Amino acid sequence: MHELIRDITFSILFAWVLGLAAHFFRQPLILAYLVGGFIIGPFGMGWVKSEESIRTISELGLIFMLFMIGLEIDLKKIIRAGRVILFAAGGQLIGACVLGLAFFLAIGLSLGGGKFDALYLTVACALSSTVIIVKVLYEKRELDTLPGRITLGVLVIQDIFAILFLAVQPSLGDLQISIVLMSIGRVGLLVATAMILSRFVLPRIFHQIARSPELVMLGALAWCFLIGEIAERLHLSREMGSLVAGVSLSTFPYALDVTAKVTTLRDFFITLFFVALGMTIPIPSSSTIGLALVIAAFTVISRAVTTFLPLYFMKQGLRASLLPALNLSQISEFSLVVIQTGILAGHITQETSNAASFAFVILAVLSTFVIMRSDPITRWAIGAMKRIGFRDLDQTQAADEDHEGGHGAARRIVILGFFRAASALVSEIERQNKSLLDQISVVDFNPNVFRTLTARGIHVIYGDISNIDTLLHAGVGNAEIIILSVPDSLLKGANNEKLVRHVRSMNPDAKIISTADLLVDVADIYAAGADYVTVTRITDAEELYKVIDAADQGLLQEKRAEMDSLLAERREVLP
């Protein structure tokens, strides 16, 4: 017992020290935890040698990690997932599995006879890292963009695929239909039990203890371990049970509260899991490094093929097809979970597990770098792909306009970039002066915006507003009013000041209306040539003040009815 406490002390201490270094060098924390585990483990300095300690630390961390992954799987979002996301995720997973099995069998990895190295690596390479992707996209403010939503949708479907694999995994050694069906039946019984209890029993209990944070957290942990123990009795695994426990709580009324209470404890045990995983990684041999590089290369290439092509053939445009492929080009922390279950079950060799861990580290570093610089990489890739024959939506549009004799026709009002403010503006024009829509051109590279506006009869040009050629094609030089309503935080390759400067040089006479995120930016945008600068926080503040005033006068319901009436009349492109 004292040895376990000492080992946990070393684990947390080195995770913190190396985590600080990773933070300063902007590297994934998971990488720091793996390196910390290697340093203190039996293959490093040897400060932690007990296999029992490592196994206990790893299993506890794994249980909590899967519980939290389950909590973050939103079943409602999966049900509401659009056709594009479902087809993209389906194409990526099916393609990755087919290519993976073919590739790993071709290089001589085993499949059968009790060893399933090729299958486990196939599944591992099919999954992408939720932790890395969400963290970087959040920092870049790209979670709510079209490529960001597609990426997150694919990640959710990948998690469901991993759950199904974990359900079948205990039966891999004897894959008879009856045994597989029995395993699926056990999972079905476990899920049904968890869902019924979480639907009819837990809400009443948590309602009584909602004001006691300690009992809420303790109740969540009790639930996690209860379902884990039920899973163990059904000859599944505690890890599988903890995942189901999390999923069953994901639509729970108190799920947000539970997640907030358990997050700190989750981070502690997830840290322990990755440190313990690092302890099991030996100093790599040349063959292990070689296999890790092969796995990493296959993951990147297969992701480019299996993610890009389905989106491209669904006419999402080169940019919206390339960005999710770049975002998803790494191995998931869930993949390490899958590999670890394979080790515990004796299904794969230690060398395969080590190579997968090294591949994870390599791609964690590289993909963080790539996602942070995805915009210039995508711009370069689009140019290269067009030269070898790939067609983008702007080329299809140009061909149509040439056929109709309307190529490059300028409109009086040009909206550069289309996000929520522009969506609201178009809806307001539609409500108050519909004839004005015929005088508007919209320029944006969101394929959904392109199709929806075109279907409504509004002139739209597919293109990147930070590209001079796009602005020339849009007829900016002949426009009378030019509107830039996308905030700097969402613009790629430019900001409002630079765009105003470009537009003013192309059209000295137009009235240019821009927007500013910060008050200190207003003067710079005016100096660049804008005629009017909007600051949305001011109009938002005016509206909020009116709401407060209505509440003080007892007129809040009337104010709400007024807003409900206004919303009912709107048909926005971006709801």
| Cβ-contact 480, 412 below 8 angstroms | yes
Buried b (16+ CB within 10 A) or exposed e, 211-233: eeeebbbebbbebbbebbebbee
β-pairing verdict for 459-462 and 532-534: unpaired
Sort 369 into a burial class: Cβ within 10 Å, 0-12 / 13-18 / 19+: middle
CATH number of 407-569: 3.40.50.720
CATH top class, domain 1-385: mainly alpha
Sign of CA dihedral 174, 176, 182, 183: positive
Confidence class of residue 515 from pLDDT cuts 50, 70 and 90? Answer: very high
Per-residue pLDDT at 476: 87
**Which tens digit of pLDDT belongs to each residue from 438-473?**
899 999 888 888 888 888 888 888 888 888 878 887
In this model, does residue 182 exceed pLDDT 80? no
pLDDT band of residue 551 (cuts 50, 70, 90) is very high
Strand partners, 482: 414, 512
**Helix 83-106 and helix 286-313: axis angle, to 10°?**
150
User: Distance of CA 73 to CAs 243, 270, 341, Å?
Assistant: 10, 17, 21
Residue 41 has pLDDT above 70, yes or no: yes
pLDDT bin (cut points 50, 70, 90) of residue 22 is: confident
Mean pLDDT (the chain, rounded)? 82
Query: Averaged over 251-266, what is the pLDDT?
Result: 67
Q: Determine the average pLDDT of the residues in 167-196.
A: 75
How big is the CA angle at 108 (ends 107 and 111), to the nearest 5 degrees?
120
Q: Confirm if 93 and 165 have CB atoms less than 8 A apart.
A: no
Handedness of CA 227, 233, 234, 236 (dihedral sign): positive
Please, which residues have CB within 8 angstroms of residue 398's CB and are 6 or more apart in sequence?
407, 473
Q: Which of 15, 55, 49 is nearest to 271 (CA)?
A: 15
On the question of pLDDT at 419 being above 80, the answer is yes
Q: Is 32 exposed, middle or buried (0-12, 13-18, 19+ CB in 10 A)?
A: buried
DSSP class of 412: S
Average pLDDT over residues 16-39: 82
pLDDT on residue 56? 74
Does the pLDDT of residue 398 top 60, yes or no? no
For the chain, give every domain's residue range: 1-385, 407-569
